[in-house]
Amino acid sequence: MDSLDLQVLTQARDWHARGHAVWLVTVIETWGSAPRPPGALLAMRDDGVLVGSVSGGCVEDDLIDRLRNGERVTRPSLMAYGVTKEDAARFGLPCGGNLRLVQEPLTDAGWIDEVLTRTEQHELVARCLDLATGAVTLEAAARGESFQFDGEHLRALFGPRWRMLIVGAGQLSRVLAQMALALDFEVTCCDPRDSHALAWDLPGSRFSRAMPDDLLLDMQIDAHSAVVALSHDPKLDDMVLLEALKSPAFYVGALGSRRTTAQRKQRLALFDLAPTEIERLHGPIGLDIGSRTPAEIAVSILAEVIAVRHGVALAQKKPQPVAAERGRA
C-alpha cells in the first residue's frame, strides 16, 4: 500500500457519491520489469477520467479506450497485458514485463469510508474481494503481511506498515517526518523539551513529550520500525539508543560526526550492550550524497533507511578519512 492508493479510494468514493459509475483496477501479478507492484490501484470514472496508476501510462490509455468504446464490466474481471513481446511493446511495458489486473465496478462505497477512518487512526486494514460475488469485507491486518491473490480472492492492504520514531523536534526532524510520511511511514516525533515541543504541528504525524526511551518501550518497536535520533542532546539520543539497539528495529541511526559517533559508541559500551548491538548503529547517519541543507540530509537519511529495509548494500557510505575529520556535525 502507498499513499496514492488512499487518494485513489478517496476520489473513487467522491465520484460515486456524485452519481458517477466508477471502476477500480488492481494489479494482481507482474512478471519481468512491470512498472507497478501487486496491489497498485487506480479508479476510472464513466467519462474516462482516472486517478492512480497500474503501469507507465499506456495500459491506462487502453483501459480508457475500452471504457469509451462501451466495455463496462459488471463484476470483477481478470485482464492481462504484455503476454507477448508485441503486446509489451504496444502497452509500453519495459523489458517484456507482463501485468495481470482485476477490474471491478464500485457498487457500494461504504467500505471505503471505513478504510479511510481506520487508516486515519493508524490501523492497518486488509480489504478482501471475492471475485465470484464481488463482495468486499474488511479485516484487521498485521505488519509484515503483503498483497495476496489466489485466483479467487484478492487481499490488499491499506495503512502504514512501517513506523519511524524521530527523537528531537528540530528543523531536520520536521523535514524528515514530512518525507517519511510521503513514503507511508507512520511517524512519531518525541521531544520532552518545552522549547522544541511547542513548535511541532506537522499534520499526519504523532507527537509525544515523553522521555524517548520510555516511549520506545511503550510503542513496542518491532522489525518494521526505524529509530532516528536527531536531538543533538546526548542525554536524549543516548537514552533512546540504549533501548533501540536492543530492539528488533530494522534501522537505528543517530546524527553526528565521525568523532561524535565514536564518542557515543564509547559511552554505549559502558552499558549492557553487546559489541554486535553497538555496531548496529548507523552513524554518521545517512548516505554520502554531499548533503548540506536539512532537506538534503533528510534525503540521505531516508535513502539509507530504504536501502537497509530492502537489504541493499550501503555503497554510498563515506569511506574512512585518511586525513582530517570531515564528518557531519
Say what the pLDDT of residue 42 is.
95
Return the percentage of the chain with pLDDT > 90, whole number.
65
Lowest mean pLDDT among 94-98, 153-157, 289-293, 320-324: 320-324
Q: Virtual CA dihedral for 244, 249, 255, 257, nearest 10 degrees?
A: 90
- Tell which residue, 61, 57, 58, 46, has the closest CA to residue 15: 46
In angstroms, the CA 257 to CA 178 distance is 24
Q: What grid cell was written down for 44?
A: 476510472
Residue corresponding to grid cell 516525533: 189
Could you tell me which residues are beta bridge partners of residue 252? 227, 281
Residue boundaries of the structural domains of the chain:
3-158, 162-309
Report field, pTM of the whole predicted structure over 0.85: no
Reading the block at residue 100, the C-alpha cell is 495481470
Residues 6 or more apart whose Cβ sits within 8 Å of residue 190: 165, 166, 167, 168, 207, 208, 209, 210, 212, 215, 240
pLDDT of 319 strictly over 70: no
Q: What's the CATH class of domain 162-309?
A: alpha beta
